[in-house]
């Protein structure tokens, strides 16, 4: 069965084609970074309008590229939530209209479930069960993934997520939008040992996170060095960025190791945009080699928001008849643990 995947939860417009027998045929993503850059962050109304402008031409182009037509589709999966309400409604509208017109199956996908399952698109892919570190946008969570659709929350952030901390700290340092990748790039030329920044909740016997204090520590440091980041030298900023990144990576790596030991699982999955961070991957790989567990990542291009992971999750739910009631709807807030099991 050929599944069309649609992603429009925030500032990326994504479409994908997934064949249940042969896997991912192809996907494409349009990023709105240039559109939102002058505002220093995502403007929801602009995001929604751009999804409207991009989505149908992208679907037509992808179908044509792979020699398919809408009549070849057997199902449609779209991101139902969580995300920006207006942006989600664009994807929901297109998906619902197409499914109704073609009389094919429709399934709304939880954005975080799609991220959790995205490493199944890599080769080699993990087997169930595994521990998953989900570091996507406003989410930093550790999950025990026992099967597709069977998720247990082990720990989560109590305030800022890792991705939010990256973006907010980048803004403090005067870096361009999007801040996270810019900060990671600047950190490559910095000395992480120069400034010892706090490791929030590192020594607490739990699997929760807290990163807002780390951001505040950076603000305090810039004021000590001068009158805020504007008075800091480029090398000061690079060293702060390196120290900040190392603090985040220390906490994430330590909590992952604790989760592996707590659950006695032998596989770790890293999913979400921060999962593309090179320093995080290097530290996690070293820890896994030493402790004797395996680590899996989605391909780099599938770490950020994309429709390939949405199509995969949709194909799994459609295959097992777990589509549920899915009228035209969007769910900007949606608890992951409310999902029905897939198998």
- Tens of pLDDT along 29-49? 999 999 999 998 999 999 999
172 in the same domain as 273: yes
From residue 336, give the alpha-carbon distance in Å to each of 140, 143, 175: 13, 10, 33
pLDDT for 285-296, tens place per residue?
999 999 999 999
Do 48 and 101 belong together in one domain? yes
Lookup result for tokens 């803004």 = 171
Domain-located, residue 343:
no
Q: Residues 2-7: what's their mean pLDDT? A: 98
Q: Which is nearest to 263 in space by CA: 308, 301, 207?
A: 207
Q: For the chain, give the number of residues.
A: 343
pLDDT of residue 6 exceeding 80? yes
Give the per-residue pLDDT at 92.
97
Based on the fold, state whether residues 195 and 290 are members of the same structural domain: yes
Class of residue 234 by CB neighbours under 10 A (exposed 0-12, middle 13-18, buried 19+): exposed
Model pTM? 0.93
pLDDT band (50, 70, 90) for residue 313: very high
**Residue 269 resides in a domain:** yes
Number of domains in the chain: 2
Matching residue, tokens 């992951």 = 336
Indicate if 246 and 141 belong to the same structural domain.
yes
Q: Specify if 243 maps to a domain.
A: yes
State whether 219 and 276 are in the same domain: yes
- The domain of 18 spans 2-116+302-338
* Residue 85 included in any domain: yes
281 in the same domain as 145? yes
Are the C-beta atoms of residues 105 and 74 closer than 8 Å to each other?
yes
| 121 part of a folded domain | no
Using the CB atoms, write b or e for 146-174: b if 16+ within 10 Å.
eebbebeebbebeebbbbbbbbbbbbbbe
CATH code for position 254: 3.30.420.40
- pLDDT of 325 over the 60 cut: no
User: Are 225 and 290 in the same domain?
Assistant: yes
- Least confident interval from 122-136, 195-209, 290-304, 321-335: 321-335
């Amino acid at each position: 069965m050929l599944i069309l995947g649609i992603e429009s939860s925030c500032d990326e417009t994504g479409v994908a084609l997934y064949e249940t027998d042969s896997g991912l045929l192809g996907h494409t993503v349009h990023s709105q970074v240039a559109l939102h850059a002058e505002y220093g962050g995502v403007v929801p109304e602009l995001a929604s309008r751009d999804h409207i402008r991009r989505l149908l031409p992208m679907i037509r182009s992808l179908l044509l590229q792979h020699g398919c037509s809408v009549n070849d589709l057997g199902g449609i999966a779209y991101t139902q939530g969580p995300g920006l309400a207006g942006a989600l409604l664009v994807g929901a509208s297109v998906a619902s209209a197409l499914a109704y017109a073609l009389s094919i199956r429709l399934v709304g996908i939880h954005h975080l479930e799609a991220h959790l399952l995205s490493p199944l698109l890599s080769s080699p892919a993990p087997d169930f069960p595994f521990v998953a570190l989900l570091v996507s946008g406003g989410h930093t969570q550790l999950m025990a993934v026992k099967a597709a659709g069977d998720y247990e929350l082990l720990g989560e952030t109590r305030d800022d997520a890792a991705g939010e901390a990256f973006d907010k700290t980048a803004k403090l340092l005067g870096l361009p939008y999007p801040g996270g990748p810019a900060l990671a790039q600047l950190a490559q030329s910095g000395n992480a040992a120069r400034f010892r920044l706090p490791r929030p909740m590192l020594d607490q016997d739990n699997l929760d996170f807290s990163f807002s204090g780390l951001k505040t520590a950076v603000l305090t440091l810039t004021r000590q060095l001068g009158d805020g980041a504007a008075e800091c030298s480029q090398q000061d900023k690079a060293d702060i960025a390196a120290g900040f990144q190392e603090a985040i990576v220390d906490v994430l790596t330590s909590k992952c190791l604790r989760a592996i030991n707590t659950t006695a699982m032998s596989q770790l999955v890293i999913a979400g945009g921060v999962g593309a961070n090179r320093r995080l991957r290097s530290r996690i790989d070293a820890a896994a080699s030493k402790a004797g567990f395996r680590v899996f990542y989605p391909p780099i291009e599938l770490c950020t928001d994309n429709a390939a992971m949405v199509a995969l999750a949709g194909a799994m739910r459609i295959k097992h008849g777990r589509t549920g009631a899915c009228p035209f709807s969007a769910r900007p807030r949606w608890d992951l643990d409310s999902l029905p099991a897939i198998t």
